[in-house]
Copies of this chain bind each other. A is one copy, B any other.
Amino acid sequence: MSIVVVGSVAFDDITSPSGSVTGILGGAATYFALAASYFTQVRVVAVVGEDFSPEHENVLKKRGVDTRGIERAAGQTFRWGGSYAENLNEAKTTFTDLNVFEKFQPRIPKEYDDSEVLFLANIQPTLQANVRRKMSGVRLTGCDTMNYWIQGARKELAETLKLVNVLLINDTETKMLAEEKNLPRAAQKVLTMGPQALVIKHGEYGATIFFRDGAFGTGRHPFRAPTLPIDEVKDPTGAGDSFAGGFMGYVASQNTLNREVLKRALFYGGVMGSFAVESFGTERLQALTQEEIETRFQIFRELTHLE
């Protein structure tokens, strides 16, 4: 099944203990699209400025990503700067220039109309809801959000959550959204807000998926997929978006949708996130092999497999 991702394409300045880079291709939609491209056909909806060159677009095209939904606007592309301290856990934003992204109004090309899976990357919740409503053929919608919207646009976000099937956020965002400190209880509360499944990303410790009872199967047992840094962590930027790309991409590649598929998808999310952090920007995600992906899947599977 084809998957449409709506989100940011950006140029990033990044400093980590491993070095510094300037103006490299980034943005949630970019990381997501590259990660998902190893599993299924990906279509991007985004906005870029006049500084977005054919070379930039080719990074996506080389991976077979459909870029017809990338709109060119007058002005500059979204730029973000961040730096990571020794522990690499949190980026300190040094600047945010929204540029053309500030007035982003997602337009879905007609050619995308037959897409059955949709991923709403982290953008303003009402824009997310509008996109979902426009795409009537979509059977499964994934969604990301962030503290900024949870705190500043709670009402709009609540409307969006009613329209999505799987929400992918981190521990802090889950507790903030649920206004509840205990994670499993927070998860159950979020599942009453709309999504049938909630994926909580734990960063370097993997992710847990919680299911609403009756959704994709029965029971309320959650599932955890681990992750482990395999190589050096050079740049954590985009790890969460690459996780989402691996997760949603694997789901979209399957003919059936049940808990076993979602559990395996959680592992593939961890796999793609772990590749993303091994290089600055999207470099590692641009040229993976299926064998590398399967090998890491097996390593992560063995990591928690009890005989």
Residues of chain A at the chain B interface (Cβ within 8 Å): 17, 86-88, 181-184, 202, 204-206, 208, 221-226, 228-230, 232-233, 260, 263-264, 267, 299, 301-307
Q: How far is the CA of A267 from the CA of B224 in the complex (A)?
A: 14
B229 engages A224 (CB within 8 Å): no
Chain B: minimal CB distance from A221 (Å): 6
B303 engages A223 (CB within 8 Å): yes
Given contacts A183-B228, A223-B303, 7 further A-B contacts (CB under 8 A): A17-B181, A87-B181, A182-B232, A222-B228, A222-B303, A225-B304, A263-B306
26 A-B residue pairs with Cβ-Cβ distance under 8 Å, sorted by A, are A17-B181, A86-B181, A87-B181, A182-B232, A182-B233, A183-B228, A183-B229, A184-B228, A184-B229, A202-B205, A205-B206, A208-B228, A208-B303, A221-B299, A221-B302, A223-B304, A224-B303, A224-B304, A225-B304, A226-B304, A263-B307, A267-B306, A301-B306, A304-B305, A305-B305, A305-B306
With a cutoff of 8 Å between Cβ atoms, the chain B residues found around residue A182 in the complex are 229, 232-233
Please report whether the interface of chain A is mostly helix, strand, loop or mixed according to DSSP. loop
Q: How far is the CA of A94 from the CA of B17 in the complex (A)?
A: 34
With a cutoff of 8 Å between Cβ atoms, the chain B residues found around residue A304 in the complex are 223-226, 304-305
Chain B: minimal CB distance from A38 (Å): 19
Chain B: minimal CB distance from A88 (Å): 8
Chain B: minimal CB distance from A81 (Å): 23
Q: How far is the CA of A86 from the CA of B304 in the complex (A)?
A: 30
With a cutoff of 8 Å between Cβ atoms, the chain B residues found around residue A301 in the complex are 306
Chain B: minimal CB distance from A54 (Å): 37
Q: How far is the CA of A47 from the CA of B17 in the complex (A)?
A: 46
B181 engages A264 (CB within 8 Å): no
Known contacts A86-B181, A306-B263, A306-B267, A228 near B232 by CB under 8 Å: no
With a cutoff of 8 Å between Cβ atoms, the chain B residues found around residue A221 in the complex are 299, 302-303
With a cutoff of 8 Å between Cβ atoms, the chain B residues found around residue A307 in the complex are 260, 263
With a cutoff of 8 Å between Cβ atoms, the chain B residues found around residue A302 in the complex are 221, 223
Chain B: minimal CB distance from A252 (Å): 19
Q: How far is the CA of A226 from the CA of B307 in the complex (A)?
A: 16
Chain B: minimal CB distance from A302 (Å): 6
* Contact for A226 among B87, B226, B230, B233, CB less than 8 A: B226
